[in-house]
Amino acid sequence: MVRAHWIAYVGKISLDKGVHLLIAAMPEIAAQMPSAHLLLIGDGVVRPHMERMVAALDQGDLDGAARAIAISGGVPYPNRYIRYLSEFWASLNLDLYRQRARQVGLTRRVLFLGGQAPQDVAQLLRLADLNVVPSLVKEAFPLVSVEALASGLLPVAPYAGGLRPILDRIALELGPIGMLARLDPSPERMGLEMVERIVFLLDYVTDPSQRVWLSDRCRRIAERYDWQRVIGRIERLYQGVVEERGSPVALMGDAPPRAESSRTMSSNGRQPFALAMLGEAR
């Protein structure tokens, strides 16, 4: 019996997080990797619309899926996120896509688990095979990507915003396999690359030895982001600045006079500090 492969998404169920694009990719992913399933861990006001999208795709009803997303809202300027879905569908043979959507049984492959306690999220990530962060906005520093690494999962994500340094580190540590974690963030490419990369990586971890190697390396990468290590690096940085330039207290002795001092200088017939600075600049 073929073991099921689980793709895990953790976060808010919303358009800006790209959940609709990940759902839309599932017929193509499942057609190429029949063992693929999707766990959606999180909640949001558009979750009912996403569930209707899945139900419509399950019937091969692209118009119904599109309507479910078009009226979902929940974010400013939703059309910018819907465009990703339009571009993805425009790149496909839609007759074949509809057929695949009906055949793969999406309603049993895409599971909405809702919000979960942190310990339960950690357990679900340990049971998954791959993490996907399909965000359509530039994230600052999505902790879920580091949490996935700590669970031994490779996060597949767009190469943009705060995800870039994490993906750079993954590529540096894992080589060609790590490069596959990067997605082109453009509307024209992201959906297609998501399908290609997820299918390849799920097939890669089907080999037990490769799965163990990848999980071990992902956990090692996560150790770089351990809070104690991060704090230690920040302290060493500050210490280096102090040793090079002197203590902050000593540096304050070189600070310009306060505003009150400037007024005092002016009342004594001396030029105010701000004017003196302007004179030096000239």
Query: What is the reported pLDDT for 178?
Result: 96
The CA distance from 156 to 206, in Å, is 17
Print the domain residue range for 186: 5-225
With both helix axes pointing from N to C terminus, report the angle between 19-32 and 94-104 in degrees, rounded to the nearest 10: 80
Residue 173 sits in the same domain as residue 111:
yes
- Facing residues of 229 across strands? none
pLDDT digits (tens, 9 = 90+) for 205-231: 999 999 999 999 999 999 988 767 767
> How many domains in the chain?
2
Residue 208 sits in the same domain as residue 246:
no
Residue 49 sits in the same domain as residue 155:
yes
CATH assignment of the domain containing 125: 3.40.50.2000
Choosing from 194, 225, 256, the residue where a domain stops is 225
Cα–Cα distances (Å) from 137 to 29, 49, 145, 148, 187, in that order, read 23, 20, 15, 19, 12
Query: What is the Cβ-side half-sphere exposure of residue 233, based on CA atoms within 13 angstroms?
Result: 6
User: Amino acid letter at 58?
Assistant: D
Residue 58 sits in the same domain as residue 154:
yes
Q: Which residues of the chain have pLDDT under 70?
A: 1, 227, 230, 246-282
Query: What is the reported pLDDT for 278?
Result: 41
Between the CA atoms of 92, 96, 99 and 103, what dihedral angle is there, to the nearest 10 degrees? Answer: -80
Would you call 269 exposed, middle or buried from its count of C-beta atoms within 10 A (0-12, 13-18, 19+)? exposed
Choosing from 203, 225, 247, the residue where a domain stops is 225
Contact partners, residue 153, CB within 8 Å, separation at least 6? 8, 125, 128, 129, 130, 131, 215, 218
